[in-house]
Structure 1
Amino acid sequence: MTTTRNTEAVATARTVDATPLVRGVSPVLEVPFTANGDVDYDGFARVVSYAFSCGVTSVMFPGFASEFHKLSDAERWELSLILLDYTRDRDDIAAVVALQDHATKLAVAYAQQVVAAGADLLNLLPPYLLGPSSAAVQEHVRSVLSAVPDTPVVLQYAPNQTGTSLDAPTIGALAREHPNLRLVKVESTPPGALIAALGAQDPPLPSVVGYAGVQLPDAVRRGAVGVMPGCSFIEIYVEIWRRFSTGDSVGAHELHRRLLPYISYWMLHTELIIAAEKLISVRRGLFASAHCRAPAHALDAEEIRTVDRFLDEFADYLPRLDTF
């Protein structure tokens, strides 16, 4: 597959605010690799198509679930364009393109580049390498928000993965300065207190919960407007969210209770859930190889059996895809 494109040729501008599309389930897309570790671009295109076939109205890429830290700049760009080719001309679905650049100058430049290419929203992971000060983190966030004032931004708060510390008053002040800060992806453990505190800001700042939705029921009770899990079993999250949305709290809790033993174990380490989700996608027929670029977690025999038990238990929700 060709890995170069003319950004100006595909640039577009969305005329409708896409923020409302980031509600309910907004999965983070995984990146399939071939058995020798090359990016499987055709497989990624199938991941995009599968995600939207589940009825979601937005997806996010790249995230930790995408192994963003193992992608070259060229790979990240080409994969982003595959996603944007799918979403660019549609007002009913949205692409949330993530920025993980540590240098503020690079984050600003990439934000402007992906917006020009058709990104509907940006997901901003603040810098965390080598322990930047709180003031430096806030200035980084302000710089990106200022660079794309007409584009909605999701601020990702993942203290377990990054060590970055932010609180609701600080985030609320940033949102008052920059109204394009529209959502916060909360991945603290537990997330509920921060979700509630953000909702109590003036104006209220809505949250989506990450971390595989381990604490999803509490997040919903505290006001979360969505969940951003991985993407190998989207259908289960969609059903949980449907039950919450229709007032079937008992049914939502019951399905989440069944899911919890699996996701709570897999979320013991980010590399573990990446490996498990890739094997699930291969078992379902979405792409051919469960390869994770090293350094990675190698599933042991019991962990593989757990994946197969999971697929057996939730077979009614997870049909075979058989697309590669």
Structure 2
Amino acid sequence: MLDLVRGVSPVLEVPFHDDGALDADGFVTVVGEVLATGVTSVMFPGFAGEVHKLDDAERELLTGLLLDVTRPRDDVAAIVSIPDHATYHAVTRAVRAAERGADAINLLPPHFLGPSREAVLAHVRAVLAAVAPLPVVLQYAPAQTGTALDAGTLHRLAAEHPNLRWVKVESAPPGRLVAALAEGERPLPALVGYAGLHLPDALRRGAVGVQPGCSFTDLYVELWRRWASGDEAGALALHTRLLPYLSYWMQGVELIVAAEKEISRRRGWIGSAHCRAPGYRLDEEEHRMIDRFVEEFGLAPA
């Protein structure tokens, strides 16, 4: 299973109807479309899935729908994310996800109201211990959370808890931390987020995967295929074509969520690009940018 969490590991989006109600059937369609690209792992819920706008029942329902698809398969891993701030809830949800058949846990450290470093580490240790030996991805997203962790601390955590198997690095740029994690007696493989904005540098420094949003997973899969096959020039050429779009959309999490949902709608994956308020509303020029993106990369349905 550990070999499945590498390459492109998209974060699933959550479709809503125009009135804001959850579109559970649309979520199942998204799961199917993303897995059809050939990825070997997916993650839910995350910032790209508007996790902060889902209630407990919705998270439970959608997690169950995902695991119903992945549980019978040995060619794909479901990474269930635990972003809960309270250690009690984080441990409870992580154990519940493990019992339901999650293949790995993604752990976002607590960050509301600036918990101390010691409190953050105690939270992480509690979840790691509760789900052992289930493998865990520790998500490091300082821009979104303000949490500061260094490679030495992460290595010590992994030495204490062998089920800490990866770090998702979303610092900007990620390369130095990726390289530092790859050093030492027990290297910690790194996945990079941030829509793969800095992916070429991260790959050169040893990153083993990327966790973008999901609406154009197939483009990331093609980029990864080129890089893995030794076609570095081809991979860089594709990344260069993506870069003007990614650099604009990654000016804000809500912006890229809105853009990706509109792309998914135009591809016929979801019926509505609605984002629950408060959120980002695309203007006419941003819609024209998506027009260009869909046309340039041939993403419109045949």
Instruction: Please classify the TM superposition score into its range, dividing by the shorter chain length.
Output: over 0.9
- Counterpart in 2 of 1:195? 178
What is the CA-CA distance between 1:19 and the residue it aligns to?
1.9
- Counterpart in 1 of 2:187? 204
- Counterpart in 2 of 1:241? 224
What is the CA-CA distance between 1:167 and the residue it aligns to?
0.4
SS in 1 for 2:158: helix
Runs of 4+ with >3 A deviation: none
Matched letter for residue 266 of structure 1? W
| 2:80 pairs with 1:85 | no
Contact 2:178–2:207 under 8 Å retained in 1: yes
- Counterpart in 2 of 1:221? 204
Structure 1 pair 292–314 and aligned structure 2 pair: CA distance change class (3 A): same
- Counterpart in 2 of 1:180? 163
Contact 1:187–1:210 under 8 Å retained in 2: yes
- In structure 1, the gaps of 5 or more residues are 1-17
| 2:24 pairs with 1:49 | no
Contact 2:294–2:300 under 8 Å retained in 1: no
- Counterpart in 1 of 2:291? 308
- Counterpart in 2 of 1:36? 19
What is the CA-CA distance between 1:91 and the residue it aligns to?
1.1
TM-score computed with the length of structure 2 as normaliser: 0.99
Contact 1:33–1:292 under 8 Å retained in 2: yes
| 2:277 pairs with 1:294 | yes
Aligned mates of 2:300, 2:34 — CA distance in 1: 13
What is the CA-CA distance between 1:276 and the residue it aligns to?
0.2
- Counterpart in 2 of 1:261? 244
What is the CA-CA distance between 1:319 and the residue it aligns to?
5.1
Matched letter for residue 210 of structure 1? G
What is the CA-CA distance between 1:310 and the residue it aligns to?
0.3
Contact 1:28–1:62 under 8 Å retained in 2: yes
- In structure 2, the gaps of 5 or more residues are none
**Aligned partner of 2:133 among 145, 150, 160:** 150
Contact 1:83–1:95 under 8 Å retained in 2: yes
Matched letter for residue 34 of structure 1? H
- Counterpart in 2 of 1:69? 52
- Percentage of matched positions with identical amino acids: 63
SS in 2 for 1:81: helix
TM-score computed with the length of structure 1 as normaliser: 0.92
What is the CA-CA distance between 1:89 and the residue it aligns to?
1.3
Say what the alpha-carbon RMSD is for the aligned residues: 0.7
What is the CA-CA distance between 1:187 and the residue it aligns to?
0.3
What is the CA-CA distance between 1:44 and the residue it aligns to?
0.1
Matched letter for residue 143 of structure 1? A
